[in-house]
Amino acid sequence: MATAVRISEELVDEAKKYGRIDRRSLAGQIEHWARMGKCAEENPDLPYSLIKEILIGLDESDQGEKTEYTFG
């Protein structure tokens, strides 16, 4: 469900710029930042790069792109 929120024009401009790089819509870029920020706050000891890789892995798993890992 979509909800309207007020955000600064500066944030909108930055989101548009970064969104173009990763081919995300304005809403998609802001949602991405919100998701990353939420994960970073919940896991303060993890570096950004690891959080990003975890989220990519979860998305790939949701899309069915997974292989079983064998330990040892």
| Residue 30 neighbours by CB under 8 Å, 6+ apart | 7, 11, 15
pLDDT at 67 over 80: no
What pLDDT score was predicted for residue 70? Answer: 83
Tokens 């930042």, residue located: 33
Residue 56 is predicted with a pLDDT of 86
Domain chopping of the chain, boundaries: 10-62
DSSP classification of residue 63: T
pLDDT-derived band of residue 60, with 50, 70 and 90 as boundaries? confident
Region 58-62: mean pLDDT is: 86
Summarize pLDDT for 9-57 with one digit per residue, the tens.
Answer: 999 999 999 999 989 999 999 999 999 999 999 999 999 999 999 888 8
